[in-house]
A and B are shown apart, each in its own frame.
Chain A
Amino acid sequence: MLAAVRRSLPHRMLSTTAAVAAAAVLASCGSSSTAETAGTDRAGPRSGGTLLIAADADPGCLDPQQTGQLQTLDIVRGLVDSLTGQDPKTGAIVPWLAQSWTVSPDARQFSFVLRSGASFSDRTPVDGQAVKATFDRLAKLPPNGAPAYIKGYTGTAVTDATHVTVSFAQPNSQFLQATSTAGFGILSVATASGPLAERCRGRFVGSGPFVLGSYTPNQGAVLTRRAGYAWPSSRATNKSVAHLNEVRFTFVSEDGARTGALRSGQARVGENIQPSDQSQFDGNGFQLVRMSAPGLAPPLSLNHQGILADEKVRQALLKGIDRAALVSTVFNSSYKPATGVLASTTPGYVDQSAKLAHDPDGAAELLTAAGWLPGKDGIRARDGRRLSLTWLIPAPMPPADEAVQQQLRRIGVDVRLDAVPPAQYVSRQAAGAFDISAVGTTRADPDVLRNIFSTKGSNLWHLAPSPLDDYLQQEVTASDTTTRQIAVTKAVTWILDHADTVPLYENTIVHGVADQVHGLRLTASTQLDLHEAWLE
């Protein structure tokens, strides 16, 4: 796997009370600027207790195969095990239910050797048949979430209980990372054929350290510890049953209520604390568990039709954004300006900060060269037509959007913010009725590039076929890390050289955690790792 590169910024560490404790956290975080672990293990983990988590939304469906929503994955990560795990620091794929694997030279066949002794919570064994049943079903589902990563699946051959080979019609190097995600969690054979609506309500069986106690739509979900669990991923420090007896997720969608619940002790973990509320949990008996989300850094996604078909105008947008100002105005020091097409925590990340400098004069020159001249109201115009771009936004509108609008106004570009209901957003984006949308994706694999920029996929932003397609093809065909990195570097270089997108900032997952909670980490895909957590 490709190495994740992290920026080494001065530590803005969790302000724990004891200096000793702080030192221990520092040691466990290495040179990382983001804290991924809450608490410190002074006396060693204690068993028992109920962890109360205020989650920010009811995902509506708990089936990891049917939805890619982060709220679902946070709950499900404790219920299902995957074939592999991923190290959040290096991006390396490590053994979990599979103890080893090989990838064919054409990246079309993936052979796994399963560990023995793992079982589902219904006592059936985790074996080759279960892997086959899981992937067979996954491949048939609409590509909303995990199924998108198993495209071209031709089947799983089960040699015996512990040997399986998964095959694809075309090279698919991203599949190995996909097997580490919760969406590719292995489900029991009986689950695979279960009705989808039932599975949404939580009727699925995994082999994870917790089982689902209950799920009440719009209210919450309860996970209970599974006795006898002993097959975590190889990077786990806890090799046996979970420390916590029970985990209670309550859905609290109102940001202020979630913050208050955490502060008043009605919850021990508050998910997705808003930038304006984060400082009150940085110390004072709390810590912030934060992680820059890997994947495509949230950008302006440019529709290469209409005004933005002109590369000069796209270049001007790239230069017209002051990323540092954007982050300091709308966010806080937990967030970072984008330094490349990919977020810095993504395996295969390339530092492209030189191409992302704020250069308003350069932007003005480019617009003038493209024939867009300053108009009376400060907005540029050409042949009597104003330089006005429609930004399609799924409501509710994030605060960053208005800040971007103001920045682009300064270079004479009028951005019309068009916030519409999500269903309308999807249809209008599919119809191409927009100039700008903003699609960032969270995934700890550089293949996110192909989803967005390949003209062979849905190509929602109407890119013209170019050598970029070849680079992306090389990326997904490469069966070794070095070849893959070369392809990724070529791709992200091309993308910024042609201003195919305008990266803005790095999205940061920020959870508030009470000091009583220890060992709570985030996985490489930003999910809560409840198996390691314990309560004082």
Chain B
Amino acid sequence: MSELGGPGGGMTVYIARRLAQAVAVVWAAFTVTFVAVRLLPGDPVDLMLSGTNGFSTPTPEQVAEARARFGFDHPLVQQYVDALLDATHGDFGSSIQTGRPVSSMIAQALPSTLRLGATALVLALVAGTILGLLANLVPVAPLRQGLRSLPAAGISLPSFWVGLMLLQLLSFHWHLFPAFGGGGLRGLFLPACALALPGAALVAQVVGKSLHDSLRRPWADTMRAAGLTPRRLLIAHGLRNAAIPALTVLGLLVGNLIGGAVVVETVFSRPGTGLITQAAVGAQDLPVVQGVVVIAAVGFAAINLLIDLLYPLLDPRLRANTAAVAR
């Protein structure tokens, strides 16, 4: 992610290379999923035809018809090429379990997950940064120490437990928020909090550490000598320095959110891509798994591409280096 530029022509080449890498990531995710789900023992078509007890026996014709419908009667290589070509048009086929087109399943579920993920991301960044700042600003040493160890505790709390606790207290006990229903800001708050918690802890840790280090740099001494208060020093200069590692963490954070959504959407009964993923993996619903993995990979690659492009903007030194290497 921090690899810079390459031989060729300036920023354009830098961007082009990053873009190519992003495409490669998505392709690799597609291919690995394609291979992995087929290596699993078990047959999704049998499951669909026989039910979970597995004691209904379909006729060989019914099995053959179902296999043909999903293209499973073709050689693997042809299945792969067909699936890849279709996927480039956003067509992932139909769910084996329900017969619904995967693209429409995802299109219906994605807005809910995006809202949840975006809210959680903002919450994580804001809460994490504030906590990181406080851990360096609070004048009482034991309190400062306590604030510094909070992130470690936050990361180790499983989000299903956090979600259930939030539900118990804020929804079932105090009736402040609905337990389910998906829509509306009020319905979004609790799941976003549960999803944001590990991320907020991660950001707090990185920002806190980075600010802490900033204050020991020679430039900080210079600033202090010039009469800057610690608070101004941290907020005006330290935060900007902490932004670079925070940005790096952001890329990881998006990956965590995609995974965390599976758990949080289950706990809060939200109709998003996480729920679809959970059901599809259990039933080995290949087209659906393929679809959600590719969409997740696209989101992950896009965010990291954006972050790579932001580095030079945030840090003038990186900008100069990029240009120099490119020249």
B276 at the interface (CB under 8 A from A): yes
In this assembly, does B48 line the interface, its C-beta being within 8 Å of a C-beta of chain A? yes
Q: Taking the complex as formed, is B319 at the interface, i.e. its CB lies under 8 A from any CB of chain A? A: no
Q: A86-94, A337-345, A427-435: which lies at the B interface? A: A427-435
B98 adjacent to A257 (CB under 8 Å) = no
Q: Kindly report which residue of chain B lies nearest to residue A421, judged by CB atoms.
A: B282
Proximity string of chain A (404-445) to chain B, C-beta cutoff 8 Å, 1 when within and 0 when not: 000000000000000011111111111000000001010000
Tell me if A374 is interfacial: C-beta within 8 Å of chain B. no
Q: Assess the B283–A422 pair: CB atoms within 8 A.
A: yes
Please indicate the chain A residues that have their CB under 8 angstroms from the CB of B94 in the complex.
197
**How far is it, in angstroms, between the C-alpha of A14 and the C-alpha of B100 when the chains are bound?**
43
Binary CB contact string for chain A from 54 to 98 against chain B (1 if under 8 A, 0 otherwise) = 100010110000011000000000000000000000000000000
B43 touches A254 (CB 8 A): no
* A143-B56, A423-B42 as given contacts; A261 in contact with B179, CB under 8 Å: yes
Are B58 and A426 in touch, CB under 8 angstroms?
no
Instruction: Report B34-88 residues with CB < 8 Å from chain A CB.
Output: 40-44, 46-58, 62, 66
Chain B residues in 8 Å Cβ range of A67: 51
B109 touches which one: A60, A218, A421, A427 (CB < 8 A)?
A218
A197 B175 Cβ-Cβ under 8 A: no
Bound complex: CA A428 to CA B41 (Å): 8
A423-B179 contact, Cβ under 8 Å, with A217-B105, A257-B267: no
Cα–Cα, bound, A439→B51 (Å): 12
B168-222: which residues lie under 8 A (CB-CB) from chain A? 168, 171-173, 175, 178-182
**A420 & B62 in contact (Cβ 8 Å cutoff):** no
A142 touches B164 (CB 8 A): no
> Which residues of chain B have C-beta atoms less than 8 A from A124's C-beta?
none
A426 and B108 contacting across the interface, CB-CB below 8 Å: no
- Name the residue on B nearest A59 (C-beta): B98
Which residue on chain B has the smallest CB distance to residue A147?
B56
Q: Is the CB–CB distance between B267 and A148 below 8 Å?
A: no
Residues of B in contact with A, size category: 35 or more
B100 touches A252 (CB 8 A): no
> Are B267 and A421 neighbours in the complex by a CB distance under 8 Å?
no
| 5 A-B pairs (CB sep. < 8 Å) | A260-B167, A266-B178, A266-B180, A420-B42, A423-B42
Q: How far is the CB of A292 from chain B (nearest CB, A)?
A: 19
Least distance between A514 CB and chain B CB atoms (Å): 14
Q: How distant is the Cα of A422 from the Cα of B46 in the complex, in angstroms? A: 10
Choose one: A260, A425, A429; the contact of B168 (CB below 8 Å): A260
CA distance A457 to B50 in the complex (A): 13
Chain A residues with Cβ below 8 Å from B182 are 219
Contact between A427 and B164, CB atoms less than 8 A apart: no
- When A200-B98, A421-B42 are in contact, do A142 and B58 touch as well, CB less than 8 Å? yes
Please name all residues of chain A whose beta carbon is closer than 8 Å to the beta carbon of B97 when the two chains form the complex.
Answer: 60-61
- Docked-complex contact B164 and A218, CB < 8 angstroms: no
In the complex, residue of chain A having the shortest beta-carbon distance to the beta carbon of B44: A423
Cβ contact within 8 Å between A197 and B98: yes
CB neighbors of A among B78-126 (8 A): 94, 97-100, 105, 108-109
Among A251, A256, A428, A452, the one with the most B-chain Cβ atoms within 10 Å of its Cβ is A256
B32 within 8 A of A: no
B179 touches A218 (CB 8 A): no
Whether A426 contacts B43 in the complex (CB less than 8 A), given A61-B98, A142-B66, A143-B57, comes out as: yes
Q: Are B56 and A216 in contact (CB under 8 A)?
A: no
Residues from chain B with Cβ under 8 Å of A162 in the complex: none
Asked whether B132 is an interface residue with its Cβ less than 8 Å from the other chain, the reply is no
Instruction: Give the contacting residue for A421; candidates B171, B275, B281; CB below 8 A.
Output: B281
Interface string of A207-231 (1 = CB under 8 A from B): 0000000001111000000000000
Q: Which residues of A (133-148) have their CB < 8 Å from a CB of B?
A: 142-145, 148
With A142-B66, A394-B52, A430-B54 already in contact, the answer to whether A422 and B171 are too (CB < 8 A) is: no
Q: Which of B211-261 contact A (CB under 8 A)?
A: none
B128 within 8 A of A: no
Q: Is A464 an interface residue (CB 8 A)?
A: no
- Give the CA-CA distance A246 to B80 in the complex, in Å: 47
B42 shortest CB reach to chain A, Å:
3
A61 to chain B, nearest CB (A): 5
- In the complex, whether B269 has a CB less than 8 A from a CB of chain A is yes
Q: Which of B41, B47, B164, B283 contacts A257 (CB 8 A)?
A: B164
Contacts of B269 in A (CB 8 A): 219, 250-254, 257
Q: How far is the CA of A426 from the CA of B55 in the complex (A)?
A: 8
A99, CB-defined interface residue at 8 Å = no
Q: Does B151 contact A (CB under 8 A)?
A: no
Q: How far is the CA of A67 from the CA of B55 in the complex (A)?
A: 14
Closest 6 A/B residue pairs (Cβ) = A424-B42, A197-B99, A423-B284, A423-B42, A260-B172, A218-B271
- Minimum CB–CB distance for A475 against chain B, Å: 18
Query: Is B311 on the interface with A (CB-CB < 8 A)?
Result: no
Q: How far is the CA of A50 from the CA of B239 in the complex (A)?
A: 53
Known A60-B98, A260-B171, A261-B179: A425·B55 in contact at CB below 8 Å? no
| Further 20 A-B residue pairs, CB within 8 A, beyond A58-B279, A144-B49 | A54-B180, A61-B99, A67-B51, A142-B50, A142-B58, A142-B62, A144-B51, A144-B56, A197-B94, A217-B98, A218-B279, A219-B271, A420-B41, A420-B42, A425-B52, A426-B46, A427-B43, A428-B42, A439-B53, A458-B57
